[in-house]
Amino acid sequence: MRGAALPVLLALSVLAACGSEDETTPVACLNGPAAFTQALQSAPGQVRLTDGVPISNCLTENQSGGDLAEVGGALVEVATKLNLAARQDPGGPATVELGYLVGAAQRGSEDTSGIHSELVRRLEAAALFGPAGKPPPPPFDQAYQRGYAEGRGDG
């Protein structure tokens, strides 16, 4: 019996090792919405969380469900608040920050095998929400795209 268990244990340890090469979520990404809000104030310039962590690094391959929920919840909360501010001042800094946030999240999700696709979809929905389904006014589009381009490039 012992001889039969050894190959099974070896196979399980190999399978466990395959998933253990994941990157851990940087601690700076787990400091809640306020950390992201503060960092985004630098947009469209270089946006960094504490320890110099870009927002895109908060979306890691094989991220644990708990970390994904924590980071995702913070990002969606920030996007929702920025959307409200952006609708009040469509060409203002909140709109640039909102675009940067979405661009950085998209950049971070590119190499994570799709585990962040739902988060990115929710961020886009929160960012582009308009009452009664109305599209945002032209100043919004221009400011959002400016932030988005910077977030995709440096986020």
- Residue with the bigger pLDDT between 64 and 8: it is 64
Prediction pTM value: 0.84
Q: Is 138 helix (H, G, I), strand (E, B) or coil?
A: helix
Q: Render 5-62 in DSSP notation, one character per residue.
A: HHHHHHHHHHHHHHTTTPPPPPGGGGS-HHHHHHHHTTTTS----GGG--GGGGS-TT
Q: Is the pLDDT of residue 153 over 90?
A: yes
**With bands split at pLDDT 50, 70 and 90, how would you rate the model's confidence at 137?**
confident
Q: Measuring CA to CA, how many Å separate 2 from each of 5, 8, 11, 49?
A: 5, 10, 15, 51
Give mean pLDDT, residues 7-15: 35
Q: Which two tokens stand for residue 23?
A: 């990157």
**With bands split at pLDDT 50, 70 and 90, how would you rate the model's confidence at 87?**
very high
Cα–Cα distance for residue pair 119/154, rounded to 1 Å: 19
Please state whether the peptide bond connecting residue 44 to the residue before it is cis, i.e. omega within 30 degrees of 0.
Answer: yes
Q: Is the pLDDT of residue 20 over 60?
A: no
- Residue with the bigger pLDDT between 43 and 134: it is 43
**With bands split at pLDDT 50, 70 and 90, how would you rate the model's confidence at 100?**
very high
Which pLDDT score is estimated for 36? 98
Cα–Cα distance for residue pair 85/151, rounded to 1 Å: 19
Q: Which two tokens stand for residue 155?
A: 């986020």
Residues shown for the chain: 155
Which pLDDT score is estimated for 112? 86
Q: Which two tokens stand for residue 85?
A: 């501010």
